[in-house]
Structure 1
Amino acid sequence: MGSDKQYDGYQSYDYLEEGEDYTGFDLAEMFSGYDAHEIPLSEDEQDRMEALVADEVVVSLHDHPFYFPEDVHGDLWDYVREGRVHTAYEFLSQTSLDAAFDMHLDGLSGIHSKHGWKWDDIVHDVSMRACDIAHSDYAMRCGDVDDIFRAREAGKIAIVPALESAAMIENELDRIELLYGMGVRCMGITYNASNSLGTGQGDIYERDGGLTAFGVDAVHRMNKVGMAISTSHSSPQTTLDVCEVTERPIFDTHALAQTGGMGQRGSSDEELRAIADTGGVIGILCSTHLPDIDTYMEHFEYVVDLVGIDHVAFGPDVLYGDHTSLLEVLGEFHGVELPESTMQNPYVKGLENPTEAWNNIPRWLVRNDYSDEDIGKVLGGNIIRVLDEVW
């Protein structure tokens, strides 16, 4: 983490008049009805933790660092269709983060359509967020590795525009370059649903079709243009195919391990090893399947044992708002009954939002006596290594 955070009090869209230029909503607070949880440290551990986050670059590989409405059930779709998602600048300034991969609204981005992932919706979401960030003195959009270090040195946060699926490029390969021109620096191959690039994780019928021929071309184009690739939410065969054809290291920005206790909802050892074999990095996902940060870190340790400390980082995939209510609304919208395991915990203790997550992850590593070198790698060093080669 860089010097003291230089947050200036800016709130999203302060350059406009709420109620006159756009519709305002009651947005979530830091904690949505739950108590904060901070991992306790001794005085010596606290000093060590503070020194480490001051000396090391800290990067989230996958989060949604913005506010959702306080009343998710009542206001979500109106909030989305307003087309102005509010980044949580103040709360982010209270974290150890120097940079965060911002995954935008993704499948929720039904700003103009009734369903997300349409080209116009993605362009609106990415560009509107870029306009807002441009008006903030604390946050800056990240276009290259140097931007991360510039933000760190200035006490700011670098926001990395990222998307979880390439569905909106349809069959237009050049749209990869258009997205890059709009600032997008990381993109997933598929979300749960299949698209023109390959088979999605939740879209396997009798067999897993893997990556398409167009998907191979898209991977090569992303390699050439300098856009990082993620296989999160891709089917097992799609993930393995991407690992085979890519010429650069790749990410799984947020993953849990099947054999670490997630069963078919997680990634197989074969997939995780294949990602690491590209030189890539796996971000560990927070999920309401997990009760607390300790079970989360069990997955971290499992993946470290499997692929090595050089190929693991953190991609919590959390937000400011009631995550469980959000999942309920999405389940209702898609007519899907979510598995009981998904809903068994209202939140993950110690990881409820990006602020709590990125204050507790370094604390857990120090409390469990990881070396300074290894902590530096997993907090951001491994991600920077991949970005140096990809970007």
Structure 2
Amino acid sequence: MQEPSPRYRGYRSFDYLEPEKDYRVFELAPEIGRVEPYDLGLTEEQTARVSRILREEHAISLHEHPKILTADPYQLREYNHTGRNAMGFEGLARSGMSALFDNFMNGTNCVTSENGWKWDDTIFDLGLRFADIAKQDHVVLARTVADLEQAKANGQIALVAGLEAATAIENELDRLDILYGLGVRQIGVAYSMANGLGSGLAEAIDGGLTNFGRRAIERMNKLGLAIDISHSGDRTSLDVINASAVPIFITHAGARSVWPTNRMKPDDVIKACAERGGVIGIEAAPHTTLSEDHPEHSLESVMDHFVYCVDLVGIDHVAFGPDTNFGDHVGLHDSFSNHLRIANAHGHVEHPRVPYVAGMENPAENFTNIVGWLVKRGYGDDDIRKVIGGNILRVLKEVW
């Protein structure tokens, strides 16, 4: 974890409002120091190199949820029902990141419905988050590559608005234009359950991309919406890669050859993504990117997937999408497991259960530890530059 950015002036979510009068107050998880710091055993020289790299280079998370969870994860449904999530501004100020793709509440946005993924709930979620961001000047909404570059030059953090699934557009193609107009710049095809575009990971039969899905991909390309297939079924994923006129992202996943669950991507999907110029972001949410060598989920497990993917498709097609938040992520999964069909999407392989992913527990620490791991293992600056942000920028320059 880095020292806080000098641009950060102490803003906390909803500081422009009066607690309890204007919004309901929940007890939130600690934003900083919830778990013990991860010790990589770096030398003083290596630590200085990590800080220099993060200071000089773009460090972009391809997938995050930088909200602060409730202290009691079983209050999350009630918390999300208000439509208002606190964002970890202080934690982000210590993260070393220059940009992140924020995927908001997504399927957990139970404002009007227990089932999530509703259009009204999506707009509610986006609007309230954008209002909060607009009340400070450290985190800035990014819509173009120039915005990312400007934020880095100004010592700010660029936030790219994304959604994990296009489910909320239903059969309304123009809703993609509306989302783009509001500031969304990245969108997934389907989450666990199938939708009008294609199949998600929880489906027993993957029917592939629908005719409407093909029209949606064409519209996403015309708009300049980056496409994500992290939660799409294998056939749907390959269909999307082939249908898109520009490279696509697997924003947060790992390799099924390293850990054999549906949530990980098979080699043919990872290779097809790379062959069309795309990038896979390595996932770190609890109990996802495990490995036989490191079945107790930690930074080491995550980096086993990184190494495998680099060996499979090359250093130019791998990045990081840790998929973390501030608070008890395991508790979030437990409280929303049935709601998000997590068991169906992941499949089941025996592994030790952990309370958190050591070294990749929250957005404040992820990139410091990723870069530290790479430095410790002798990766050169050019390769580190690519995987922590350069590869993502290359794709965005073509897509946006």
Q: How does 1:114-129 map to 2 (within 5 A)?
A: 114-129=114-129
Q: In 1, Cα distance between the equivalents of 2:89 and 2:141?
A: 13
Summarize the Cα distance change of 1:30–1:15 in structure 2 as closer, same or farther, 3 Å threshold: closer
Q: In 2, Cα distance between the equivalents of 1:191 and 1:335?
A: 9
Aligned-pair distance for 1:142?
Answer: 0.7
Q: Residue 137 of structure 1 aligns to which amino acid in structure 2?
A: D
Q: Deviations along 1:65-103, whole A, 9 cap, x unmatched?
A: 110101111x21221011111110011000110100000
SS in 1 for 2:63: strand
Q: Residue 306 of structure 2 aligns to which amino acid in structure 1?
A: F
Summarize the Cα distance change of 1:15–1:343 in structure 2 as closer, same or farther, 3 Å threshold: farther
Q: Residue 312 of structure 1 aligns to which amino acid in structure 2?
A: V
The residue number in structure 1 matching 2:298 is: 292
The residue number in structure 1 matching 2:183 is: 183
Tell me if the contact between 2:200 and 2:233 (Cα under 8 Å) persists in the aligned partners.
yes
SS in 2 for 1:258: coil
Q: In 2, Cα distance between the equivalents of 1:245 and 1:333?
A: 30
Q: Does 1:380 align with 2:381?
A: no
Tell me if the contact between 1:62 and 1:100 (Cα under 8 Å) persists in the aligned partners.
yes
Q: Residue 363 of structure 1 aligns to which amino acid in structure 2?
A: G
Q: Residue 237 of structure 1 aligns to which amino acid in structure 2?
A: R
What root-mean-square deviation, in Å, do the aligned CA atoms of Structure 1 and Structure 2 show?
A: 1.8
Q: Deviations along 1:260-309, whole A, 9 cap, x unmatched?
A: 12344311000000111110110000132232101110100000000110
Q: In 2, Cα distance between the equivalents of 1:335 and 1:58?
A: 32
Q: Does 1:247 align with 2:256?
A: no
Summarize the Cα distance change of 1:364–1:337 in structure 2 as closer, same or farther, 3 Å threshold: closer
Structure 1 window deviating more from structure 2 (105-114 vs 35-44): it is 35-44
Tell me if the contact between 2:231 and 2:263 (Cα under 8 Å) persists in the aligned partners.
no
Q: In 2, Cα distance between the equivalents of 1:173 and 1:133?
A: 28
Tell me if the contact between 2:80 and 2:109 (Cα under 8 Å) persists in the aligned partners.
yes
Q: How does 1:315-354 map to 2 (within 5 A)?
A: 315-331=321-337, 333=339, 339=348, 341=350, 344-354=353-363
Summarize the Cα distance change of 1:337–1:144 in structure 2 as closer, same or farther, 3 Å threshold: closer
Q: In 2, Cα distance between the equivalents of 1:222 and 1:129?
A: 23
Q: In 2, Cα distance between the equivalents of 1:261 and 1:337?
A: 15
Summarize the Cα distance change of 1:126–1:349 in structure 2 as closer, same or farther, 3 Å threshold: same
What TM-score, normalized to structure 1? 0.95
The residue number in structure 2 matching 1:48 is: 49
Tell me if the contact between 2:32 and 2:91 (Cα under 8 Å) persists in the aligned partners.
no
Q: Does 1:64 align with 2:65?
A: yes
Q: Deviations along 1:25-54, whole A, 9 cap, x unmatched?
A: 111113685322132211221222222112
SS in 1 for 2:61: strand
The residue number in structure 2 matching 1:261 is: 259
Q: Does 1:22 align with 2:56?
A: no
Aligned length: 387
* Poorly superposed stretches of 4+, deviation over 4 Å: 332-343
Summarize the Cα distance change of 1:40–1:249 in structure 2 as closer, same or farther, 3 Å threshold: same
Aligned-pair distance for 1:336?
Answer: 7.4
> Between the two proteins, what is the percent identity of the paired residues?
43
Q: In 1, Cα distance between the equivalents of 2:343 and 2:378?
A: 41
Q: In 2, Cα distance between the equivalents of 1:196 and 1:60?
A: 28
Q: In 1, Cα distance between the equivalents of 2:143 and 2:94?
A: 23
Q: Residue 93 of structure 1 aligns to which amino acid in structure 2?
A: A
Tell me if the contact between 2:190 and 2:197 (Cα under 8 Å) persists in the aligned partners.
yes
Tell me if the contact between 2:188 and 2:227 (Cα under 8 Å) persists in the aligned partners.
yes
Tell me if the contact between 2:139 and 2:157 (Cα under 8 Å) persists in the aligned partners.
yes
Tell me if the contact between 1:288 and 1:342 (Cα under 8 Å) persists in the aligned partners.
no
Q: In 1, Cα distance between the equivalents of 2:135 and 2:368?
A: 26
SS in 2 for 1:146: helix
Q: In 2, Cα distance between the equivalents of 1:232 and 1:215?
A: 16
The residue number in structure 1 matching 2:13 is: 12
Q: Deviations along 1:159-217, whole A, 9 cap, x unmatched?
A: 11000000011111111000000100000000011000001111123xx2100011011
Q: In 1, Cα distance between the equivalents of 2:168 and 2:283?
A: 24
Q: How does 1:39-188 map to 2 (within 5 A)?
A: 39-73=40-74, 75-188=75-188
Aligned-pair distance for 1:4?
Answer: 4.4
SS in 1 for 2:245: coil
Tell me if the contact between 2:188 and 2:228 (Cα under 8 Å) persists in the aligned partners.
yes
Return 5+ residue gaps in structure 2 as ranges. Answer: 291-296
Q: In 2, Cα distance between the equivalents of 1:335 and 1:237?
A: 19
Q: In 2, Cα distance between the equivalents of 1:336 and 1:305?
A: 29
The residue number in structure 2 matching 1:314 is: 320
What TM-score, normalized to structure 2? 0.93
Q: In 2, Cα distance between the equivalents of 1:227 and 1:368?
A: 35
Q: Residue 231 of structure 2 aligns to which amino acid in structure 1?
A: H
Q: In 1, Cα distance between the equivalents of 2:340 and 2:63?
A: 24
Aligned-pair distance for 1:125?
Answer: 0.4
Summarize the Cα distance change of 1:380–1:189 in structure 2 as closer, same or farther, 3 Å threshold: same
Tell me if the contact between 2:185 and 2:225 (Cα under 8 Å) persists in the aligned partners.
yes
Q: In 1, Cα distance between the equivalents of 2:208 and 2:309?
A: 24
Instruction: State which of 231, 234, 239 in structure 2 corresponds to 1:233.
Output: 231
Structure 1 window deviating more from structure 2 (249-258 vs 328-337): it is 328-337
SS in 1 for 2:161: strand
Summarize the Cα distance change of 1:318–1:389 in structure 2 as closer, same or farther, 3 Å threshold: same
Summarize the Cα distance change of 1:155–1:95 in structure 2 as closer, same or farther, 3 Å threshold: same
